[in-house]
Every structure is written in structure tokens, then in C-alpha cells.
Amino acid sequence: DIQMTQSPSSLSASVGDRVTITCRASQNIGNFLNWYQHTPGKAPKLLIYAASILQNGVPSRFSGGGSGTDFTLTISTLQPEDFSTYYCQQTYRSRTFGQGTKVEIK
């Protein structure tokens, strides 16, 4: 199984901050890496696919990078609606998720 490790598991930030979440795969997954936002009570939302491509309708303050084993999700200017939990997902072999990163209000 391919293991996905996110860091940090949680972070506190303020509106307007720049936030970066990292995701590491246990083996090379190329660019088969997706990012989702999950707010309790809502359906998860696809933000980034193929490591760096912004899903239609997602604000441009979200960006993704990396390839191989190390990936990042960056929110350039945190907005109130961005306080949520973020998950990476590999789809290179089967599909597995990271454990999530909760972004909380400082």
C-alpha cells in the first residue's frame, strides 16, 4: 500500500496568512496527487488534481506543487471560508488519502 503522510496535522492561522500544507508519499507517485477540502456537514470539494491543476471554479489563491513523493498545497491569502480540513489523495495505485490537516482560526 502507498502511505500518504500530511504535515502538519493541524495549524492555526489568521485571515490573510499564507498557508502551506505538505504531503509525502511512501513511494514515487508521479503527479497522481489530488487535494480536497472537507468542511463538516458539507460534501468534500476537489481543489487541485494532478498535483498542480486547479479544478474549475476553485479560487486562484489555492495552488498545488510537487511531483514524485513530495507535494504541497498553498493558500496564498487565507479567507474565512478556508478554515477547514484538507486531504491529499494518491491515485497512482488504488486510492489512499492522507490523514488530513485541519486549518483553524488563530
Partner 1 sequence: QLQLQESGPGLVKPSETLSLTCSVSGGSIRNRSYYWAWIRQPPGRGLELIGRIYDSGTTFFNPSLESRVTISADTSNNHVSLRLSSVTAADTAVYSCARGRDSSVYAYSFDFWGQGTLVTVSS
Which single residue is written with the C-alpha cell 496527487? 33
Q: Which of 10, 18, 20, 50 binds partner 1 (CB under 8 A)?
A: 50
3-state secondary structure of 67: strand
CA distance 42 to 22: 23
Binding segment toward partner 1, per CB under 8 A, in 11-19, 20-28, 32-40, 76-84: 32-40
Binding segment toward partner 1, per CB under 8 A, in 11-19, 20-28, 48-56, 65-73: 48-56
How does strand 45-49 pair with strand 53-54?
Answer: antiparallel
Asked if 36 touches partner 1 (CB under 8 A), the answer is yes
* Nearer residue to partner 1 within complex by CB, 28 or 77: 28
Full 3-state SS string of 7-45:
ECCEEEECCCCCEEEEEEECCCCCCCEEEEEECCCCCCE
Asked if 46 touches partner 1 (CB under 8 A), the answer is yes
Where do contacts with partner 1 occur on this chain (CB under 8 A)?
1, 31-34, 36, 38, 41-46, 49-51, 55, 87, 89, 91, 94-100
